[in-house]
Amino acid sequence: MTYDTITIFDTTLRDGEQSPGCSMNTAEKLEVAGALVELGVDVIEAGFPIASPGDFEAVQLVSRTYGDRATICGLARCRVEDIDRAWAALEDAEQRRLHVFLATSSIHREFKLKMDKSQIVAAAVEMVSRAAGYCDDVEFSPEDAARTELDFLCEVVEKAIAAGATTINIPDTVGYATPEQFGAVFGYLKGNVPNIEQSVLSAHCHNDLGLAVANSLAAVAEGARQVECTINGLGERAGNAALEEIVMAVQTRGDYYGCSTRVNTNKLFPTSRLVSSITGMKVQRNKAIVGQNAFAHEAGIHQHGMLQERTTYEIMRPEDVGFVGTNLVLGKHSGRHAFRDRVDQLGYTLDDTVFQTVFEDFITLADKKKEIYDSDIAALIDNRIGEGVDFWKLASLHTSAGTDTIPTATIELQSDDETIRRDAATGDGPVDAVFRALERLTGIDARLEDYEVRSVSKGKDAQGEVLVEIVAGGRHYHGKGISTDIIEASAQSYLKALNKVIADSQAADSQAADSQAADSQD
């Protein structure tokens, strides 16, 4: 049996990034794009270039860096300036796609756009033609398609294809669809749009009713050959369809769907961890495919069955998705070679510099704790990925706390340009004192929104992982730190978040300088 290939269109950097508190800076977007390329997704929607100079820059950088390894896509409304701006951001990519959208449902026509049906069709045709003039890969999305009258949807789709759209994406923008009904929309389009075979049908589902993945799969069963999704189902409100669930459902049930994807499934787990670590959006323990418990068989009767024959209770193997458990793997005497092997097996691709740093961290950790688990290694790697952007590094930390004493923290920071700053502060407890000292040292006034500490693996000597969310200048920032000492991990996580604030203000400064330079050329 020959399987049809489903195009995996990842929109973690566009739709996913829109969710509150999940915004990423350009360096972080580039990091995620690199992971998506390694994962093997077909299309990366890198942003909405007209939305902001930062969005433009990110799409451009992703295009220049990865445009030869995946199709890079930029989003545009049905407006001349949107399409031109998106094209300018994508131009340097070898493989590129313009994605044009326009709402078609009666509620959007009447209240948002104040356009009638004929105006909608005319605008879609004009703007799809404009996009097709730039690029032979054009996607058109009738926004809120799931609530659009079917006959009108057919008319818009037919004319958009005639105008040059090579992919027709059907979004369930508000997460209103149910599987049978959404699947039927695809069947209807196939049966009633005469030129439908000239385009690829795509599904874009939101998870407001918890049906995003089910709806996407129903679309696949009815002929959709592209699915739009995000890592960990990241996205506004209840999120988008989760990439890892779509991919593993199509793979595990290839017998039913008759389809496959080009995704390297053993990279799913590390990519999930990376996105979670960058956005600060945690993955629930029982989340399908990438949750910590997704492969834990606790019931005695299951364990017995598993020992006899794994497939009695296991439909996927943990290694198929690059799952990182708490297997005891390495100790102090494991050499560089064994460590490199393990890193590869865990699905990470590290350049030599990062590898060397992580290896040194591993040696330091092996001095502090006897047993090192996969989850420890994954935490060490996550901690070092993307850290090149940090302005301040923690040089030293001393705290004193206890009963009958005022909690105090003394901290020394070293900057990129070797400047050393020292300061101390008191607080309600040692963590509070550390945070106050860091704010004094960096001169940033931040509000702590969330603080969480958890152990990375088993045992009293386990590494502690601290996650913080702060608000500075009205924006949310996340930081993560790990150490066998949770006060140090707290300091690292807070400093990480403060470094992101600094990176943002530096980027804003350089953009302001750029636009001044541009003005002066006029």
Least separation in angstroms between CB 17 and Zn ion? 11
Nearer to Zn ion, 15 or 137 (CB): 15
* Sign of CA pseudo-dihedral 448, 478, 53, 87: negative
| Per-residue interface string for the shown chain with Zn ion, residues 103-142, x marking contact by CB under 5 A | ----------------------------------------
> Which residue, 275, 269, 518, 505, is CA-closest to 385?
275
Least separation in angstroms between CB 102 and Zn ion? 14
Nearer to Zn ion, 17 or 504 (CB): 17
Nearer to Zn ion, 240 or 266 (CB): 240
Nearer to Zn ion, 15 or 17 (CB): 15
| Per-residue interface string for the shown chain with Zn ion, residues 292-321, x marking contact by CB under 5 A | ------------------------------
DSSP, collapsed to helix, strand or coil, labels residue 147 as helix
Least separation in angstroms between CB 228 and Zn ion? 7
By beta carbon distance, the residue nearest Zn ion is 15
Distance CA 165, CA 82 (A): 17
Is there a contact between 206 and 240 (Cβ–Cβ < 8 Å)?
yes
Least separation in angstroms between CB 14 and Zn ion? 8
Least separation in angstroms between CB 143 and Zn ion? 9
Nearer to Zn ion, 15 or 155 (CB): 15
Q: In whole angstroms, what separates CA 503 from the centre of its chain?
A: 20
List helix spans (H) across 300-416.
300-308, 336-345, 352-368, 374-384
DSSP, collapsed to helix, strand or coil, labels residue 167 as strand
Neighbours of 291 (CB within 10 A): 16
Least separation in angstroms between CB 15 and Zn ion? 4
Report CA-CA distances (Å) from 313 to 65, 140, 279, 411, 435: 43, 42, 33, 52, 47
Residues 6+ apart with CB under 8 A from 507: 25, 26, 54
Least separation in angstroms between CB 245 and Zn ion? 16
Nearer to Zn ion, 169 or 492 (CB): 169
Least separation in angstroms between CB 130 and Zn ion? 23
Q: What is the per-residue DSSP string for 11-51?
A: -TTTTGGGSTT----HHHHHHHHHHHHHHT-SEEEEE-TTS
Nearer to Zn ion, 233 or 481 (CB): 233
| Per-residue interface string for the shown chain with Zn ion, residues 244-283, x marking contact by CB under 5 A | ----------------------------------------
Least separation in angstroms between CB 236 and Zn ion? 7
Nearer to Zn ion, 143 or 155 (CB): 143
Is there a contact between 383 and 482 (Cβ–Cβ < 8 Å)?
yes
Nearer to Zn ion, 139 or 361 (CB): 139
Considering CB under 5 A, how many residues would be counted as binding Zn ion?
Answer: 1
Distance CA 99, CA 73 (A): 7
Least separation in angstroms between CB 80 and Zn ion? 23
Nearer to Zn ion, 171 or 481 (CB): 171
Is there a contact between 491 and 397 (Cβ–Cβ < 8 Å)?
yes
Tokens read off for 412? 């020394």
Query: What part of residues 3-22 is at the interface with Zn ion (CB under 5 A)?
Result: 15
Distance CA 259, CA 277 (A): 31
Is there a contact between 203 and 6 (Cβ–Cβ < 8 Å)?
no
Binding stretches for Zn ion (CB under 5 A)? 15
